[in-house]
Amino acid sequence: MTPCSHHPTPPLSSFSFSRTETTADPLSLTPRPRSTFNPRPPPPPPTRLSCSTAHTPEMVKAIRVHELGGLEAMRWEEVEVGEPKDGEIRVKNTAVGVNFIDVYFRKGVYPATLPFTPGMEAVGVVTAVGPGLTGRKVGDVVAYAGKPMGSYAEEQILPANVVVPVPPSIDHRTAAAIMLKGMTVHVLVRRVFKVESGHTVLVHAAAGGVGSLLCQWANALGATVIGTVSSEEKAAHATQDGCHHVIMYTKEDVAARVKEITDGKGVNVVYDSVGKDTYRASLESLAPHGYLVSFGQSSGSPDISIGDLAPKSLFLTRPSMMHYTGTRDELLQSAGEVFSNVANGVLRIRVNHTYPLSEAARAHADLEARKTSGSILLIPDN
């Protein structure tokens, strides 16, 4: 970095930080117009704070998305990071979780103001604390999952009330791999539909990051777990994670197999993160009064009609983990149950894939191609 002319480089305490990333209303996304003669301009120089006699901004590396689209939309750039303001902390990330919601934001399925830094899950070490803030100190190991978006970065500024302390017994990579997925599963099996002993549940994508944890937790609660997978390798993983019955959807009719397994009764709840490709099979697999919990749409949005629910008086819900962890107490309860279940062995996390943070596009490519199982992490290059 080159300091402003005629002024020495100031101490870190004189830096400031300005956040410009926001999340728009999901129903009001307006695609950004593209140039008709130069649709992919060269990467812009890093946006810097205006030079003044007070300070020179500190720069870190991050993945940035300037236009919605494919893998090429993800750029490795320098961005500013400054000192935290009231109620904020600065965190140096040590491990960053990759989730399918990151793909949705990159493609514009979920809207965000451009440009933005993707990522909604990370673990790191507190490097600075905003003025007057208590309860957090430099050196603390913390984790967060959800908003604000921006974890695909070496360092970031976070509101102190969105992070939770990581127990010393849990390493950084495990915590980063399980925060968002683990709290999602907590919401699914304890809040949205309370799984109990005697229930039968169907989990699509049972070997995925969320699916594997969902199978483990539902099994521990006493449910009979049926999981769908695409390959023999993933079937083995699903069995290890507590699936009593595994269906290879590439070779078998899912609804027919469910009816066979349940003696025609169907399941009490279907946890469906796939969407369009599994919607009909999910409906057909449910018992009367059953719950279809749609918490993702990796294959696209299903074509839903309210009449689909009438034949068996079914329930359909589309939950978001963030709506169930919106208060500080809810967040701490959810994260606490996840960490407790990791400590007592109920939840076992498999970090099967790690990538340098700078190669986040490769991680997205493998995730979209269904080449991954378990959890995916990005590790900061420095």
Please give the domain boundaries of the chain with CATH numbers for all domains: 12-166 (3.90.180.10), 180-323 (3.40.50.720)
What is the C-alpha to C-alpha distance for residues 309 and 314, in angstroms, rounded to an integer? 5
Q: What pLDDT, on a 0 to 100 scale, did the predictor assign at position 62? A: 98
Q: Residue 339 to residues 154, 188, 295, 346, 375: CA-CA distances in angstroms?
A: 24, 16, 22, 10, 16
Please, what's the largest Cα pairwise distance for the chain? 82
223 phi and psi angles, rounded to 5 deg: -85, 155
User: Chunked in runs of 10, what are the mean pLDDT values of the chain (382 residues)?
Assistant: 38 34 35 40 46 61 97 96 94 96 94 96 97 92 96 97 96 95 97 98 94 97 97 94 96 97 98 95 98 93 94 97 95 97 94 96 94 90 82
pLDDT at 44: 53
* Predicted structure pTM score: 0.78
* 191 contacts 324 by C-beta, under 8 angstroms: yes
pLDDT recorded at residue 374? 77
Cα dihedral 364, 153, 324, 303, rounded to 10, equals -30
- Cα 264 to the chain's mean position, in Å? 35
pLDDT (0 to 100) of residue 373: 80
pLDDT at 382: 75
How high is the pLDDT of residue 56?
62
